[in-house]
Chains A and B, each alone.
Chain A
């Protein structure tokens, strides 16, 4: 059965190479189970899903791709939601999970009912599900790599961390520590929690600045770069090299500085469009393709040269985004 579907898929792909649509999944239904929609990143994520999947449905690639969001970030609510999705006869469920472990029971039920489960961003640990994880550690490490290129002599760094006690914060922090271990010319002289919010970051940085020696660079986690810049300005200190996090206000500030005095930095974060990558991965699995259970999603890095283009395409108050095409997804699956 599986072999034939593979064969058919292969034959079709050979015949209609230019057309991404594959007849095999045209009556399959995919659902998005999302646990939270309360910030700009999640809103962009849902918008990207809507845009890409609507086109896919119109093209006849899948029969339906409906998003479902729970009103509060609650495990029990999302578990009940997934059970209902099982009953509604979806062939695949794309999942941004409220908890990495506590949904395993219901995910197993979905697998047992023959449903493909693809988790992304908020991944689940149940072995039967696919995981599209973000390499947050590397997101921290690349910042140091960039800094070491820009500043051969090194110097003092200020670290702005995210929300205390959250997995993502720990991972990025570990990556930054690793980077400092590798590039020993840098030294972290201060560390504050900015909670991924500009106002919080600004207050925290303003609080610690008077106690710091000259700061050469600021390593961040996203959503905190603009606040840090404001704090340095208010304190009357020279603006260091601040790594940005793809938020529109950060990119706009960067552009302003670049035009005024040739300021150079880079910006890195996760594109909310990762939901569309998960969609294509689910579609490929339904199509009978071999997909490894653990995939790593590339993060979105903006360099000096791409700044104008990224700023143009980013909505005010939003996050720089990329939506994935089927070809992009195939590249990620192939590990390129």
Chain B
């Protein structure tokens, strides 16, 4: 009985990995050329900023909220990175810190006024976009050279995007899943009242989580312009949905502080690869979004199946 339960739990944990392996195998089959250092590097490069945005979203989902502004926020960071950070680094760093502060302030607003996070972040998304357009009215700017250098790093044997993705997942895993403060943060998502009774301020944990989300949003924006070499206010509009889908695909849930950093990163990689696979298969763009949605639904259905088995016992 216990062995079987354990089996289901591992099965659940392995599901994101299995879907990644499946999509990867399908991509290799569709386009054998991708099965090389060069191919993987190229194909997974754009997965790094998506993975970082997904981690940012994961922090918010951990405390039972949802962030609808991460895409435009990443775009704003990109615009700051390609203008201030390039021309006047000190001012640029200050502006980015201010962005992270704004995220923490958003948490305070949501908590103190007891507002739904969806509404506040949706509103914030327009503010980010507005500021981004003000900073960079038309596409352009230049990414700092050190950013470009980091993102085009050539590591022997294993392509850089894979190393970066693993490193991100590992760091967040240590911080959120194994440290004692991480337990508190996840607990706030699981049962905020119990955590408050135990003497942990929900306001403070929420602000820390949103601040962390802001921090990873900044990393995502910077890594993105390191790849594109210049910015555009609309550069990351799609990331909002990618990030939510990545967390869910990676085994996270909307309630109860049930998240997984490794899962989230794997989810982001799966989504990025699925896009490539669909292009290799020459599926018409009108169907591509639908096909990505179908992948999401299939994974969720499998998970529901496993969970249903768990609940029966």
Whether A associates with B in a native complex is: yes
The one of A66, A72, A109, A167 that contacts B42, using a Cβ cutoff of 8 Å: A109
Q: Tell me if B33 and A88 are in contact (CB < 8 A).
A: yes
Q: Does A189 contact B (CB under 8 A)?
A: no
Residues of B within 8 A of A86 (CB): 42
| 0 or 1 for each of A56-90: is its CB under 8 Å from B? (1 = yes) | 00000000001011111011110111011011110
- A84/B280 in contact, CB under 8 A: yes
Q: Are B286 and A75 in contact (CB under 8 A)?
A: no
**In the complex, how many residue pairs between chain A and chain B have their CB atoms under 8 Å apart?**
91
Count how many chain B residues have C-beta atoms less than 8 Å from C-beta atoms of the other chain: 37
A12 to chain B, nearest CB (A): 30
B224-A76 in contact (CB<8A): yes
B57 at the interface (CB under 8 A from A): no
Q: Which of B39, B230, B282, B288 contacts A104 (CB 8 A)?
A: B230
CB within 8 Å for A72 and B238 given contacts A84-B280, A102-B139, A105-B228: yes
> A72 CA to B275 CA in the complex, in Å?
13
| A100 interface residue per 8 A CB criterion | yes
Contact B276 A80 (CB under 8 A): yes
Q: How far is the CB of B130 from chain A (nearest CB, A)?
A: 13
Other-chain contact of A89, B33, B137, B232, B239 (Cβ < 8 Å): B33
Q: Which of B46, B148, B229 contacts A80 (CB 8 A)?
A: B46
- On chain A, the residues within 8 Å of B138 by CB distance are 165, 167
Residue interface mask B65-84, A partner, CB < 8 A = 1? 00000000000000000000
**B272 to A80, Cβ gap below 8 A?**
yes
In the complex, whether A191 has a CB less than 8 A from a CB of chain B is no
Set B227, B230, B236, B276: member contacting A101, Cβ < 8 A: B230
Q: Are B45 and A83 in contact (CB under 8 A)?
A: yes
- B232 & A84 in contact (Cβ 8 Å cutoff): no
Kindly list chain A residues whose C-beta atoms are within 8 Å of the C-beta of B7. none
Contact B276 A84 (CB under 8 A): yes
Q: A70-B285, A76-B224 are in contact. Are A87 and B235 (CB under 8 A)?
A: no
Query: CB-nearest residue of chain B relative to A107?
Result: B229
Q: Is A187 an interface residue (CB 8 A)?
A: no
Tell whether A108 is near chain B: CB-to-CB under 8 Å.
yes
- Partner pick for B140 among A71, A83, A100, A165, CB 8 A cutoff: A100
Q: Does B39 lie within 8 Å of A87, measured CB to CB?
A: yes
Pick the residue among A68, A81, A105 that contacts B227 (CB under 8 A).
A105
Q: Taking the complex as formed, is B234 at the interface, i.e. its CB lies under 8 A from any CB of chain A? A: yes
CA of A77 to CA of B276, assembled, Å: 10
Q: How far is the CB of B67 from chain A (nearest CB, A)?
A: 18
| Nearest A residue (CB) for B142 | A101
Report which residue of B227, B279, B286, B289 has the largest number of chain A beta carbons within 10 angstroms of its beta carbon: B279
Is A76 a contact partner of B33 (Cβ separation < 8 A)? no
Residue interface mask B257-285, A partner, CB < 8 A = 1: 00000000000000010011001101001
Find chain B residues with CB under 8 A from A101 CB. Answer: 139-141, 229-232
Give min CB distance, B86 to chain A, whole Å. Answer: 13
Is B46 within 8 A of A71, CB to CB?
A: no
- A99 on the B face (CB < 8 A): yes
Q: Mark A131-165, 1 if CB is under 8 A from B, else 0.
A: 00000000000000000000000000000000001
Residues of chain A within 8 A of B276, CB atoms compared: 80, 83-84, 87
* CB-CB nearest in chain A for B239: A76
Nearest A-chain residue to B133, judged by Cβ = A165
Interface flag for A103 (CB, 8 Å): yes
Q: Contacts A103-B228, A167-B138 known; A84 to B279 CB distance under 8 Å?
A: yes
A106 at the interface (CB under 8 A from B): yes
| Residue from B42, B138, B289 with most neighbouring chain A CB atoms (10 Å) | B42
Cβ–Cβ contact A71 & B289, under 8 A: yes
Contact (Cβ within 8 A) A99 B139: yes
B227 to chain A, nearest CB (A): 5
Q: Determine the distance from Cα of A74 to Cα of B240 in the docked complex, in whole angstroms.
A: 13
List of A residues within 8 angstroms of B141 by Cβ: 101
Query: Which B-chain residue is minimally distant from A100 (CB atoms)?
Result: B139
A81 to B224, CA, bound (A): 15
Chain A, residue nearest B40 (CB):
A87
The CA of A99 and the CA of B285, in the complex, are separated in Å by 19
Determine how close the nearest CB of chain A comes to the CB of B174; give it in whole angstroms.
29
> Is A83's CB under 8 angstroms from B42's CB?
yes
Contact A83 B46 (CB under 8 A): yes
Complex Cα spacing A109 to B138, Å: 23
Interface members, chain B 265-313 (any A CB < 8 Å): 272, 275-276, 279-280, 282, 285-286, 288-289
Contact call B238/A77, Cβ cutoff below 8 A:
yes
| From A81, A83, A88, residue with most partner B Cβ within 10 Å | A83
Assess whether B238 is in contact with A87, with CB atoms less than 8 Å apart: no
Q: A99-B232, A101-B230 are in contact. Are A76 and B280 (CB under 8 A)?
A: no
Complex Cα distance, B275 from A74, in Å, reads 13
B282 CB contacts on chain A under 8 angstroms: 66
B140 touches A76 (CB 8 A): no
Q: Do B286 and A102 have beta carbons less than 8 Å apart?
A: no
Q: How far apart are B57's CB and chain A's nearest CB, in angstroms? A: 16
Give the chain A neighbours of B137 by CB distance below 8 A: 165
Would you call B272 and A102 a contact (CB within 8 A)? Answer: no
The reply to whether A71 and B228 form a contact with Cβ atoms under 8 Å apart is no
Distance to closest chain A CB from B262 (angstroms): 23
Given contacts A69-B285, A75-B234, 10 further A-B pairs with CB under 8 A are A76-B236, A77-B238, A77-B275, A79-B46, A79-B227, A80-B276, A87-B33, A101-B139, A101-B230, A105-B229
Task: Report 11 cross-chain contacts, Cβ distance below 8 Å, ordered by A residue.
Answer: A68-B279, A71-B288, A75-B232, A77-B238, A80-B275, A84-B279, A87-B42, A101-B140, A101-B229, A102-B232, A104-B230
- Give A contacts to B, CB under 8 Å: 37, 66, 68-72, 74-77, 79-81, 83-84, 86-89, 99-106, 108-109, 165, 167
